[in-house]
A = this chain, B = another copy of it.
Amino acid sequence: MSGQQTRQWVLANPPKADPVLDGPNATFSLTTTTLPKLGADEVLVKVLYLSNDPAQRGWIQDGMDPERLYTEPVVKGDVMRSYAVGEVVESNSEALKVGQLVTGSAGWTEYAVLNAKEVRAVQADEKSGIRPTHFVGALGGTGLTAYYGLVDIAEAKAEDVVVVSGAAGATGSMVVQIAKHIVGAKRVIGIAGGEKKCRWVESLGADVCVDYKAADFKEQLKKATDGFVDVYFDNVGGEILDLMLTRVKRFGRIAACGAVSTYNSFGEGGVKNWFEIIVNRITVKGFIVTDAIMSGKTGPMIQNIVQKIKEGKIKIGEDSETVVPTAFEDIPKTWTLLFSGGNTGKLVTQIK
């Protein structure tokens, strides 16, 4: 059997500013290629869903210092990198059968040849509401960010009081539920915007959720964090981070989450309460979910979450994803919806 033919989107011109989709300076170009035949332990994967992530922009941008990028850049001529969910259509691996659903970094391609070690087998489960798309969202980077940040980075334990900002968001709502239903934290406090979101966060298991849009937010937060807190999972930065720096206990821990889309919010005023880190001997750890993925330790994390979903304890919010059916030639267009905003939860490309 000869190699599989496939269309692919490759990086044609690393953009300096906004990506250009058409014309002579187009950022991406569509090509057709024939994949190599499968080697030992390799599988041919048909890509079904693509993950769209703000971080992808950093991977392709021109002029980024590669030493400061958190993963290798995508260089001119490379297939555009993307996490994906696909189906094994041909297998040279004992571990993966044809028809198996897998996740991995397949890229913007119809088909990909991947080593069995580079992919992870996953199971959808209609009865529990676990859809294939969830493995690039709530049960992909989002769930891993929440789990890795809370358990590995912040080292949250049962005796801890935990605060999570952006608690109604994709990552935050997972942090709340992992804190409550997996870590079993003593007390879980959410911060979210609006009465309705806060009540939803409480329905997920938060002991209380404080509305940052409320006129008396500061007083409410102070009351909710009376006695101070052990762990703060920061999804938002900015003023809420500054406030939380005054509410973390002596020797407390802050997980500074790689919420790339909010970077701009740090640049404006800066973090004013840095001295709290000193006086209260706070440990701040930045993290990026990529490290968890590269560590190869994510399987058990996702299994733990899936188990709690099956037990009816952890819920994936209805707003957790927006799936956009997309013709292969329109993949870049769907991706740019990330930057025009408006999508709710994880933006997933479903290849038509």
Contacts and interface: CB of A to CB of B under 8 A. Distances in A.
A349 B267 CA distance: 44
Nearest to A273: B266
A266 B275 contact: yes
Provide the main secondary structure of the chain A interface: mixed
A278 B274 contact: no
A17 interface: no
A68 B237 contact: no
Interface stretch (A18-26, A166-174, A283-291, A311-319): A283-291
A272 B271 CA distance: 6
A263 interface: yes
A119 interface: no
Interface residues of A, number: 36
Nearest to A285: B283
A296 interface: no
A241 B241 CA distance: 18
Contact of A277 (B267, B273, B284): B284
A279 B67 contact: no
Interface stretch (A3-11, A27-35, A250-258): A250-258
A270 interface: yes
Nearest to A251: B291
Interface string A204-243: 0000000000000000000000001000000001000100
A256 B270 contact: no
Contacts of A271: 270-271, 274
B281 A284 contact: no
Among the interface residues A256, A263, A280, which one has the most CB atoms of the partner chain B within 10 A?
A256
Contacts of A285: 281-284
A70 B277 contact: no
A321 B269 CA distance: 37
Contacts of A250: 70
A201 to B, nearest CB: 23
Contacts of A276: 286
A241 B277 CA distance: 14
Nearest to A228: B67
A281 B274 contact: no
Given A70-B250, A228-B67, A256 B280 contact: no
A286 B277 contact: yes
Given A67-B228, A70-B250, A250-B70, A279 B286 contact: yes
A256 B245 CA distance: 14
B275 A281 contact: no
Contacts of A269: 270
Contacts of A279: 68, 70, 258, 286, 288
Contacts of A266: 272-275
23 contacts: A67-B228, A68-B246, A68-B279, A70-B279, A237-B274, A256-B277, A257-B278, A259-B278, A267-B272, A269-B270, A270-B271, A271-B274, A277-B284, A278-B286, A278-B288, A279-B286, A281-B286, A281-B287, A282-B285, A283-B283, A283-B285, A283-B286, A284-B285
Given A281-B291, A283-B286, 6 more contacts: A266-B274, A267-B272, A270-B270, A277-B286, A281-B288, A283-B284
